[in-house]
Amino acid sequence: MESPISGFSKLTKTEKINWILDQYFTDQKEAKELITNYWNTDKKLQKLHDEFIENTITNFYLPLGVAPNFLINDRMYTIPMAIEESSVVAAASKSAKFWLERGGFKTTVVSTEKIGQVHFVFQGETQELKDYFNWVKPRLISDSASITKNMEARGGGILDIELRDKTVELENYYQLHATFETLDAMGANFINSCLEQFATTFKDEVANYNGEKSSLEGMDVVMSILSNYVPNCIVKAEVSCPVNELQSKDIKDPQLFAKNFKRAVDIAKSETFRAVTHNKGIMNGIDAVVIATGNDFRAIEAGVHAYASKDGSYSSLTHCSIDGNTFKFWIEIPLALGTVGGLTKLHPLVKFCMHMLKDPSAKDLMQIVAVAGLAQNFAALKSLTTTGIQQGHMKMHLLNILNQFEATEDEKRTLVDYFKSNVVSHSEVVTQLNILRNA
């Protein structure tokens, strides 16, 4: 039976590893070799990785690939993507090349507003609270001056603070709802610092208020935290061309393709089961770039999926229209990203990826990431409405299956050649591998 441990975080890295090996592994030598094989041979670099999080024992690698030929607002990009799913980088690359020949991607940052809230409970009269808020609001901002000084010098800072009555949703529940501009920073630490100062001032200034104080003194702040739902931090990316220009090697009838493609988007707009998988494909592209650039993909995922439900039901993040002879496909999506702070200047590969993207501003990165999501969705819908999704996906997955069965390089070459003209399935790969081995 596993023994509990106290003070694990205070152990050395070696002591942590030895405890894990003692608790969970019979073949401790093999397990330890696996852990140490993934250490970076550069001790300084490994120490940097060890200090990113607590209780680090080794590194967990994801492949870093690139998708070239992205033309975005008449500027060429090669987009880095950190992801383990076999077909994502290939699909993005195919979309990039397809639209490169048709004018490329056009993008616009619609807005960059971030949100944070102080959640509190108040049991008095709402009008008393409103009067106090109007009085204290200038002090909320002035007391945060030491926090906002540097951000304001760069053109950002606090945009506004509102009092929101949420008592219909939850008894005695109110918010200070604040909006921020954080420029090239994602802004989580900045926003949270401001919110905690708001909460302190909001409570402390009751003593100096000239109005009714009795009910205000019972005010109870529950928490102060930014929101990862940023419906006013929006970027739009789109592609368009005459319908007849959609013709390609696998699109023989562009009129039929455009009609079926739009129907596929419309189905994802109206059917939740389809919309979830549809949007998951979009996030394949988005998350891969977000990870490669050192941003928080969990925050992006949470905010994006909330946005997909903003009209009351979960729906497609992409849209399609056919207006006369013009085919148009686009996405509007909330993306709170940063190009300074966090890992963006700390992780060596993140710095490499940022440099490859021409050291983008946060607005630039929003546009690049949105394009990656749109390109991924175009590739998926193109496959679904023409050859089917499995043909391309399983061919990309072929090497994974062969590696699973420890195929030799000669076996890989033979079977890759075989499946150029045969349908890939897990069972068929196993069958052909066995035939090869028993020949």
Q: Are 361 and 339 in contact (CB under 8 A)?
A: yes
Q: Are 360 and 349 in contact (CB under 8 A)?
A: no
Alpha carbon distance 182, 112 (integer Å):
8
Q: Are 325 and 242 in contact (CB under 8 A)?
A: yes
Name every residue whose Cβ is closer than 8 Å to that of residue 54 and which is 6 or more positions away in sequence.
9
Please name which of 87, 70, 86 lies closest in space to residue 383, comparing C-alpha atoms.
Answer: 87
Asked if 323 is an active-site residue, the reply is: no
Cα angle value 123/130/135 (rounded, 5°): 120
Catalytic residue of the set 113, 184, 296, 364: 296
Please name which of 348, 335, 280, 279 lies closest in space to residue 49, comparing C-alpha atoms.
Answer: 348
Query: Which residue in the block uniquely carries the two structure tokens 């089961």?
Result: 273
Element holding 235 (H helix, E strand): strand 234-242
Query: Which residue in the block uniquely carries the two structure tokens 């013709």?
Result: 247
Catalytic residue of the set 50, 85, 212, 428: 85
Asked if 319 is an active-site residue, the reply is: no
Alpha carbon distance 25, 402 (integer Å):
28
The residues carrying an active-site annotation are 85, 280, 296, 393
